[in-house]
Structure 1
Amino acid sequence: MKLTITSQRLYSLDALRGFDMFWIIGAEEIFHKMAEITNSPFWNALSVQFIHPAWHGFAFYDLIFPLFLFLAGVATPYSVGKQLEKGVSRKSLLFRVIKRGLILFLLGVIYNNGLEIRPLEEIRFGSVLGRIGMAYMFANIIYLYTKQRGQIIWFCALLLGYWFLLMFNSAPGYPMGDLTMEGNFVSYLDTLIMPGKLYLGIHDPEGWVSTIPAIPTCLLGIFAGNLLKKGAVDKQKTTAVRLVVIGIILIIVAQLWNLVFPINKNLWTSSFTLQCGGISMLLMAVFYYVIDILGHKKWAFFFKVIGMNSILIYMAGGFIDWAYTTSALFKWLGQLVGDPYNAVVLVFCYIAVQWAFLYVLYKKKIFLRV
Structure 2
Amino acid sequence: MTTASSPVIEPATMSATERIASIDVYRGLVMLLMMGEVLSFKHVSAAQPDSSFWRFLYFNQDHVQWFGCSLHDMIQPSFTFLVGVVLPYSISSRLKKGATHKALLKHAAVRSIILICLGIFLRSMSSKQTNFTFEDTLTQIGLGYTFLFMLGFYSQRVQLIVLAVILVGYWLAFAFYPLPNASFDYIASGLSASWEYNFQGFMAHWNKNTNLAWAFDRWFLNLFPRETPFLFNNGGYSTLSFIPTLGTMILGLFAGNQLKADTTNRHKLKFFIITGFSLVLLGLLLHYSGINPIVKRIWTPAWTIFSGGICFLFLAFFYGIIDVAGKKKWSFFLLVIGSNSIAAYIISDAGVRDLISNSLHIHLGQTYDQLLGAHYATLVNGCLVLFIIWLILYWLYRKRIFIKI
Q: Normalising by structure 1, what TM-score? A: 0.90
* Percent of aligned positions that are identical: 31
How far did 1:29 drift? 2.9
1:143 maps to which of 133, 144, 152: 152
Instruction: Give the aligned partner of residue 161 of structure 1.
Output: 169
Secondary structure of the 2:208 match is coil
| 8 A contact 1:73–1:220 mirrored in 2 | yes
Rate the CA distance shift 1:251–1:328 in 2: closer, same or farther, 3 A: same
Pairing 1:71-82 to 2, within 5 Å after superposition: 71-82=82-93
Q: Cα deviation per residue 1:260-315 (whole Å; 9 max; x = unaligned)?
A: 21111111000001111000000001101111111111111101111122112222
CA distance in 1 between counterparts of 2:229 and 2:241 reads 14
1:20 maps to which of 30, 35, 44: 30
CA distance in 2 between counterparts of 1:30 and 1:235 reads 43
Gaps of 5+ in 1: none
How far did 1:172 drift? 6.8
Residue 304, structure 1, aligned to residue 338, structure 2:
no
Instruction: Give the aligned partner of residue 10 of structure 1.
Output: 20
Residue 334, structure 1, aligned to residue 369, structure 2:
yes
CA distance in 1 between counterparts of 2:179 and 2:220 reads 14
Pairing 1:1-370 to 2, within 5 Å after superposition: 2-5=1-4, 6=6, 7-8=15-16, 9-27=19-37, 29=39, 31-39=41-49, 40-84=51-95, 87-114=98-125, 118=129, 123-144=132-153, 146-170=154-178, 173=181, 178-194=205-221, 195-196=223-224, 201-203=231-233, 206-231=237-262, 235-259=264-288, 260-316=291-347, 317=349, 320=352, 321-328=355-362, 331=365, 334-370=369-405
Secondary structure of the 1:57 match is coil
How far did 1:328 drift? 4.3
Cα RMSD (Å): 2.6
**Which amino acid in the other structure matches residue 215 of structure 2?**
Y
CA distance in 1 between counterparts of 2:30 and 2:230 reads 26
Rate the CA distance shift 1:52–1:21 in 2: closer, same or farther, 3 A: same
Rate the CA distance shift 1:333–1:116 in 2: closer, same or farther, 3 A: closer
Q: What is the aligned length? A: 364
Rate the CA distance shift 1:353–1:327 in 2: closer, same or farther, 3 A: farther
| 8 A contact 1:108–1:127 mirrored in 2 | yes
Rate the CA distance shift 1:256–1:342 in 2: closer, same or farther, 3 A: same
Rate the CA distance shift 1:137–1:81 in 2: closer, same or farther, 3 A: same
CA distance in 1 between counterparts of 2:372 and 2:100 reads 60
How far did 1:318 drift? 5.5
Q: Which moved more, 1:310-319 or 1:282-291?
A: 310-319
Rate the CA distance shift 1:28–1:354 in 2: closer, same or farther, 3 A: closer
How far did 1:42 drift? 2.6
Rate the CA distance shift 1:108–1:171 in 2: closer, same or farther, 3 A: farther
| 8 A contact 2:45–2:55 mirrored in 1 | yes
